[in-house]
Protein backbone atom coordinates (compact mmCIF):
# COMPACT_ATOMS: atom_id res chain seq x y z
CA UNK A 1 0.00 0.00 0.00
CA UNK A 2 1.28 3.47 -0.85
CA UNK A 3 0.05 7.01 -0.56
CA UNK A 4 0.84 10.54 -1.66
CA UNK A 5 1.06 13.43 0.79
CA UNK A 6 1.49 17.02 -0.39
CA UNK A 7 2.23 19.66 2.24
CA UNK A 8 1.93 23.42 1.76
CA UNK A 9 1.89 26.48 4.03
CA UNK A 10 -0.12 28.74 1.69
CA UNK A 11 -2.80 28.48 -0.99
CA UNK A 12 -2.12 31.61 -3.00
CA UNK A 13 -4.70 31.92 -5.79
CA UNK A 14 -5.72 28.27 -6.15
CA UNK A 15 -5.68 24.90 -4.41
CA UNK A 16 -2.33 23.86 -5.89
CA UNK A 17 -1.52 21.13 -3.29
CA UNK A 18 -4.67 19.22 -4.28
CA UNK A 19 -3.84 19.40 -7.98
CA UNK A 20 -0.22 18.39 -7.41
CA UNK A 21 -1.37 15.31 -5.50
CA UNK A 22 -3.75 14.34 -8.31
CA UNK A 23 -1.06 14.85 -10.95
CA UNK A 24 1.50 12.77 -9.02
CA UNK A 25 -1.03 9.95 -8.54
CA UNK A 26 -1.88 9.97 -12.25
CA UNK A 27 1.83 9.78 -13.10
CA UNK A 28 2.63 7.00 -10.62
CA UNK A 29 -0.29 4.80 -11.61
CA UNK A 30 -0.25 5.80 -15.28
CA UNK A 31 -3.89 6.83 -15.26
CA UNK A 32 -4.63 9.77 -17.52
CA UNK A 33 -7.83 11.57 -16.47
CA UNK A 34 -7.39 14.08 -19.28
CA UNK A 35 -7.35 16.89 -16.72
CA UNK A 36 -5.70 20.06 -18.02
CA UNK A 37 -4.18 21.38 -14.82
CA UNK A 38 -2.61 24.50 -16.34
CA UNK A 39 -5.92 25.58 -17.85
CA UNK A 40 -7.70 24.76 -14.60
CA UNK A 41 -5.22 26.89 -12.64
CA UNK A 42 -5.62 29.86 -14.99
CA UNK A 43 -9.43 29.72 -14.78
CA UNK A 44 -9.33 29.42 -10.99
CA UNK A 45 -6.97 32.37 -10.57
CA UNK A 46 -9.24 34.53 -12.74
CA UNK A 47 -12.33 33.55 -10.72
CA UNK A 48 -10.46 34.04 -7.43
CA UNK A 49 -9.43 37.59 -8.33
CA UNK A 50 -12.96 38.45 -9.46
CA UNK A 51 -14.39 37.13 -6.18
CA UNK A 52 -11.86 39.16 -4.21
CA UNK A 53 -12.76 42.33 -6.14
CA UNK A 54 -16.47 41.78 -5.43
CA UNK A 55 -15.80 41.27 -1.71
CA UNK A 56 -13.76 44.49 -1.58
CA UNK A 57 -16.55 46.42 -3.35
CA UNK A 58 -19.25 45.07 -1.03
CA UNK A 59 -17.24 46.00 2.07
CA UNK A 60 -16.53 49.46 0.66
CA UNK A 61 -20.25 49.99 0.11
CA UNK A 62 -20.92 49.03 3.72
CA UNK A 63 -18.32 51.54 4.90
CA UNK A 64 -20.16 54.41 3.21
CA UNK A 65 -23.51 53.48 4.76
CA UNK A 66 -23.00 55.61 7.88
CA UNK A 67 -19.37 56.81 7.96
CA UNK A 68 -19.87 59.24 10.87
CA UNK A 69 -20.96 56.56 13.34
CA UNK A 70 -17.58 55.51 14.75
CA UNK A 71 -17.77 54.03 18.29
CA UNK A 72 -16.71 56.33 21.11
CA UNK A 73 -14.72 53.65 22.93
CA UNK A 74 -13.09 50.56 21.44
CA UNK A 75 -12.12 49.29 24.88
CA UNK A 76 -15.64 48.06 25.59
CA UNK A 77 -15.19 45.28 23.02
CA UNK A 78 -11.98 43.95 24.62
CA UNK A 79 -12.25 40.52 26.20
CA UNK A 80 -12.30 36.75 25.77
CA UNK A 81 -15.27 35.01 24.17
CA UNK A 82 -15.94 31.26 24.42
CA UNK A 83 -18.39 28.97 22.69
CA UNK A 84 -20.71 26.77 24.76
CA UNK A 85 -18.49 23.68 24.60
CA UNK A 86 -15.36 25.68 25.54
CA UNK A 87 -13.49 24.44 22.48
CA UNK A 88 -13.14 27.71 20.58
CA UNK A 89 -11.91 31.01 21.99
CA UNK A 90 -12.02 34.41 20.31
CA UNK A 91 -9.96 37.16 21.91
CA UNK A 92 -10.32 40.88 21.18
CA UNK A 93 -7.53 43.21 22.31
CA UNK A 94 -6.27 46.73 21.77
CA UNK A 95 -2.69 46.89 20.51
CA UNK A 96 -0.15 49.57 21.38
CA UNK A 97 -1.36 51.69 18.47
CA UNK A 98 -4.94 51.69 19.72
CA UNK A 99 -6.20 49.33 17.01
CA UNK A 100 -8.82 46.69 17.75
CA UNK A 101 -7.41 43.19 17.13
CA UNK A 102 -9.26 39.87 16.76
CA UNK A 103 -7.29 36.72 17.66
CA UNK A 104 -8.53 33.24 16.78
CA UNK A 105 -8.01 30.86 19.71
CA UNK A 106 -6.11 33.73 21.34
CA UNK A 107 -3.07 33.19 19.09
CA UNK A 108 -1.05 36.27 18.18
CA UNK A 109 0.10 34.40 15.05
CA UNK A 110 -3.51 34.25 13.83
CA UNK A 111 -4.87 37.73 14.38
CA UNK A 112 -6.61 40.34 12.26
CA UNK A 113 -7.27 44.03 12.73
CA UNK A 114 -10.94 44.88 13.11
CA UNK A 115 -11.69 47.86 10.86
CA UNK A 116 -14.77 49.96 11.54
CA UNK A 117 -17.37 50.03 8.75
CA UNK A 118 -20.45 51.70 10.21
CA UNK A 119 -22.29 51.90 13.54
CA UNK A 120 -21.10 48.83 15.51
CA UNK A 121 -20.10 46.79 12.46
CA UNK A 122 -16.45 45.83 11.94
CA UNK A 123 -14.57 43.86 9.31
CA UNK A 124 -11.47 41.68 9.71
CA UNK A 125 -10.92 41.47 5.94
CA UNK A 126 -7.31 41.91 4.85
CA UNK A 127 -5.19 41.96 1.69
CA UNK A 128 -5.19 39.23 -0.94
CA UNK A 129 -1.53 38.50 -0.19
CA UNK A 130 -2.18 38.16 3.54
CA UNK A 131 -5.18 35.87 3.01
CA UNK A 132 -3.16 33.60 0.74
CA UNK A 133 -0.15 33.58 3.06
CA UNK A 134 -2.35 32.45 5.95
CA UNK A 135 -3.76 29.56 3.93
CA UNK A 136 -7.27 30.99 3.81
CA UNK A 137 -9.78 31.23 0.99
CA UNK A 138 -11.88 34.16 -0.23
CA UNK A 139 -15.55 34.30 0.79
CA UNK A 140 -18.32 36.84 0.37
CA UNK A 141 -18.32 40.05 2.40
CA UNK A 142 -20.63 38.73 5.15
CA UNK A 143 -17.95 36.21 6.03
CA UNK A 144 -15.68 38.98 7.33
CA UNK A 145 -18.19 41.00 9.34
CA UNK A 146 -18.59 41.20 13.09
CA UNK A 147 -21.36 43.33 14.54
CA UNK A 148 -21.16 44.34 18.19
CA UNK A 149 -23.78 45.61 20.59
CA UNK A 150 -23.26 46.66 24.18
CA UNK A 151 -25.87 46.63 26.94
CA UNK A 152 -26.37 46.36 30.68
CA UNK A 153 -26.30 42.56 30.72
CA UNK A 154 -23.57 40.07 29.85
CA UNK A 155 -21.94 40.45 26.47
CA UNK A 156 -21.11 37.91 23.82
CA UNK A 157 -20.39 37.22 20.17
CA UNK A 158 -22.42 35.34 17.62
CA UNK A 159 -20.17 33.60 15.10
CA UNK A 160 -21.77 31.86 12.11
CA UNK A 161 -18.79 29.61 11.43
CA UNK A 162 -21.17 26.85 10.35
CA UNK A 163 -22.77 29.09 7.67
CA UNK A 164 -26.08 29.11 9.52
CA UNK A 165 -28.12 32.30 9.77
CA UNK A 166 -27.99 32.41 13.57
CA UNK A 167 -24.50 31.00 14.15
CA UNK A 168 -23.04 29.90 17.48
CA UNK A 169 -23.07 32.05 20.60
CA UNK A 170 -19.79 32.97 22.29
CA UNK A 171 -20.13 34.40 25.79
CA UNK A 172 -17.69 36.94 27.13
CA UNK A 173 -15.80 35.89 30.25
CA UNK A 174 -15.76 38.09 33.32
CA UNK A 175 -12.05 38.93 33.03
CA UNK A 176 -10.67 41.20 30.35
CA UNK A 177 -8.24 39.93 27.73
CA UNK A 178 -4.80 39.79 29.39
CA UNK A 179 -2.50 42.70 28.68
CA UNK A 180 0.33 40.27 28.01
CA UNK A 181 -1.46 39.47 24.76
CA UNK A 182 -0.48 42.92 23.56
CA UNK A 183 3.14 42.35 24.54
CA UNK A 184 3.07 38.95 22.85
CA UNK A 185 1.83 40.64 19.70
CA UNK A 186 4.62 43.21 19.73
CA UNK A 187 7.26 40.53 20.32
CA UNK A 188 5.93 38.56 17.37
CA UNK A 189 6.09 41.65 15.14
CA UNK A 190 9.72 42.19 16.12
CA UNK A 191 10.85 38.70 15.13
CA UNK A 192 12.87 38.24 11.97
CA UNK A 193 11.02 37.17 8.85
CA UNK A 194 12.68 33.75 8.92
CA UNK A 195 11.53 33.13 12.48
CA UNK A 196 8.01 34.22 11.67
CA UNK A 197 7.81 31.91 8.66
CA UNK A 198 8.80 28.96 10.83
CA UNK A 199 5.96 29.55 13.28
CA UNK A 200 2.92 27.32 13.05
CA UNK A 201 -0.22 29.14 11.96
CA UNK A 202 -3.46 27.73 13.33
CA UNK A 203 -5.81 29.58 11.01
CA UNK A 204 -7.36 27.02 8.70
CA UNK A 205 -9.97 25.70 11.13
CA UNK A 206 -11.26 28.87 12.73
CA UNK A 207 -12.55 31.10 9.94
CA UNK A 208 -15.04 33.70 11.09
CA UNK A 209 -18.21 34.05 9.01
CA UNK A 210 -20.59 36.55 10.53
CA UNK A 211 -20.36 37.89 14.07
CA UNK A 212 -22.88 39.67 16.20
CA UNK A 213 -22.42 40.69 19.81
CA UNK A 214 -25.50 39.96 21.89
CA UNK A 215 -26.82 40.76 25.34
CA UNK A 216 -27.87 37.97 27.70
CA UNK A 217 -30.54 38.64 30.26
Q: In a structure prediction context, what are the per-residue pLDDT tens digits for the chain, which is 217 residues long?
A: 677 888 877 667 778 888 888 888 888 888 888 889 889 889 988 998 899 999 999 999 988 888 777 777 888 889 998 888 999 998 999 999 999 999 999 999 889 999 998 887 888 899 988 887 887 888 888 788 877 766 656 687 777 676 666 667 788 887 544 444 444 444 545 544 444 444 433 333 334 433 444 443 3
User: Would the pTM of this model clear 0.75, i.e. be above it?
Assistant: no
Half-sphere exposure for 98 (CA within 13 Å, toward CB)? 3
Q: Which helix (H) or strand (E) holds 89?
A: strand 89-94
Q: Domain holding 158: CATH number?
A: 2.40.128.600
The torsion of the CA quartet 70, 76, 78, 84, rounded to 10 degrees, works out to -110
Question: d(Cα 166, Cα 160) in Å, to the nearest integer?
Answer: 6
Partnered with residue 89 across adjacent β-strands are 82
Going by the DSSP 8-state scheme, the letter that residue 166 receives in this structure is: S
Q: Give the range of the structural domain holding residue 181, as residue numbers without chain letter.
A: 1-217
Number of domains in the chain: 1
The torsion of the CA quartet 185, 189, 193, 199, rounded to 10 degrees, works out to 0
CA angle 79/207/105 to nearest 5° reads: 40
Amino acid sequence: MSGVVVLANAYRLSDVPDWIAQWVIETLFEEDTNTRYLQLAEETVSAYRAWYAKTVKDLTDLKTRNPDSAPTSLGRYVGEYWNASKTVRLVIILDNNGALILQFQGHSEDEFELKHLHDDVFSWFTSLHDIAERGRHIFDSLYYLIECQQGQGRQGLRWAHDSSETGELFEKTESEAPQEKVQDKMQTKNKTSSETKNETRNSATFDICRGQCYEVG
